[in-house]
Structure 1
Amino acid sequence: MVSIIVAVAENGVIGDKNTLLWHISEDLKHFKAVTTGHPVIMGRKTYESLGRPLPNRTNVVITRQQVEIPGCRVVHSLGEAVALFPGDDEVFVIGGAQIYAQALPLADRFYLTRVFRAYEGD
């Protein structure tokens, strides 16, 4: 099962220049509780914003580049990432915007945090 987990401002913004625009500790705890023990799939820019693999999860980074990222599986498409886990009960897509857009048709479940404030972002 492919799940999307995302926090979205009331005007649809999810970030700016590869950073989150808010710090909501309850949401971060929820993200950790829900995704721990499951594979997480992200784009390269999202990985770079995190700065390290997320612990206790198989981290998969999608990039066009031919790179190795310690502690992560590197693939070149969302389809390739999802195919790594054919028997997994739940695989999480955690961003960014381009990866979310590609994942929408594949998603079985959404975990959406609505942030009740507008933010400027990209």
Structure 2
Amino acid sequence: METKMTANQMEHKRIQLGMEGVVNVARVGLGGGLALFWRSGWDVRLLSYSVGHIHVLITESNGSQFYLTVFYGHPETQQRHHSWERLRRLSYSIQGAWVVVRDFNEILLSKDKRGGRE
């Protein structure tokens, strides 16, 4: 079952969670769909986004800064190199601390895989 949250639903979720802000990138088809919520005390500047990433610069209330990228690797193996290239291009603009989170869609150990071909 495919579900897409409208802007109003995402705003309702932000309020329900007690968050100050949200950046949402809707999913396309069955893949993707990213959201970044944050509490007060952070100044969040959106630098770029796509169906596979949200890239922001966060300034904390004490003045320290770091980059945060919410990342979703392409679900199709043969297309995943585009995801890694996007991450590589983002890295060129980083000056300081950088955190990358979410789903890389990569399996490092075969024991972590369930179903499908070996």
Return the TM-score normalized by structure 1.
Answer: 0.28
Give the structure with the higher percent strand.
2
Return the TM-score normalized by structure 2.
Answer: 0.28
Q: Tell which structure's C-alpha radius of gyration is larger.
A: 2
